[in-house]
Amino acid sequence: MNNLTVTTSSASYPVVVQAGALASLPAHLDALGLRGVLWLICDGAVEARYAVPLAAHLRAAGSTVHTYRVPPGDASKNPAQLGELHTWMIAGGIERRDAVLALGGGVVGDLAGFAAATILRGVAVVQMPTTLLSMVDAAVGGKTGINHPLGKNLIGAFHQPRLVLADTDTLASLPPRALREGWAEVIKHGVIRDAGLFGELEQLAEARGWSESAPGGLWDPADAALTTVLSDLIRRAVAVKVAVVSIDEFERGERITLNYGHTVGHAVEQLSRYGLLHGEAVAVGMHAEARIAQHMGICDGDLVGRQAALLHAYGLEITLPAYDVDAILALAMRDKKVQAKKIRWVLPTSVGAVQVRDDVPEELLRRVLQA
């Protein structure tokens, strides 16, 4: 299978999406000239299953590897944890020719990527996502960062990886809830840019008889036909992210479309104190923002209904939790997409197309969110 390639003004790097990809890491590192010490950062969810054997594999290939485990969960994306990573690497004698390896979900990728971006003013980072969410979104594109008490992902840097190695075999060990949240981002990519992907997701759900009572998209290694189809859909979703990042590395235009569902999503995620997983919050945000588009007359009810049905088919809820509307709007005003004190909303016009609007009336927002 041919690799995908991100090409930006600052970097060009391969994105490998295939079963068993982690085994090829030593060869990739050698091809990239990354022969210094390797600083492997993971969390407890992947340490025993993936980090320990991967470190042993790298050492057998002649590399020096140091491993650090961060606590799982979004709460780890904080200045104190970042400082601990800096201390670990500085005390260990990190050099600029070394590389950071980020193994795990989006939290590890964001945190380790930001550590790599800031230590010694920047060292190489390799992203190795082990969750569906991070494969199709967080690991690709060089966005790194941590959270602030006043908002999510408000402190960070663009730091493109040298390689993204997405081993789809790791999806077999994901809890169902963690796998389901990843499909929100896959569906999002279909809505914003790839109508064919959206249609294939619908066709698979219909063919398999998936419904709200039997959520689809769960990984069954014993079902080779299903895992092959799901792998192809994942790679197609990753291709959307690769294409957008290659057009707009620093989110000055096209890349903002990847934030569809995230304005409301980030707000409810934070109000839930991260009890909602990121993809779960994005699914809620996608439905709310599609309803905003419908009320503004830029999309019809068919899109809203198809999107809602597809999110349900892949096991995602779309009901907005009973949070205070003022609190949601206050957090939305701290969103990174705010410009000139106006929220820039990514709103769907049809399946596969969106537009960015900063003229959504507050009264309409309140009406949709309260409904």
Query: What are the residue numbers of the active site?
Result: 121, 143, 185, 241, 251, 255, 259, 262, 266, 278
Q: How many CB atoms within 10 Å of residue 84?
A: 15
**Number of separate helices (H) and strands (E) present in the chain:** 13, 11
Residue 347 CB neighbour total at 10 angstroms: 20
Whether 271 and 331 have beta carbons less than 8 Å apart is answered as yes
Reduce the DSSP state of residue 182 to 3 states and report it.
helix
Rounded Cα distance, 231 and 47, in Å: 24
Nearest to 132 by CA among 230, 226, 247: 230
CB of 311 closer than 8 Å to CB of 318: yes
- Cα separation, 331 vs 151, whole angstroms: 7
Residues 6+ apart with CB under 8 A from 83: none
Q: Is 272 exposed, middle or buried (0-12, 13-18, 19+ CB in 10 A)?
A: middle
Q: What is the DSSP letter of 359?
A: -
Phi first, then psi, for residue 213 (nearest 5°) are: -85, -15
Q: Which structure tokens are listed for 62?
A: 């002649």
Amino acid identity for residue 11 in this structure? A
- Residues 6 or more apart whose Cβ sits within 8 Å of residue 51: 40, 42, 67, 69, 103
* Strand (E) or helix (H) holding 141: none
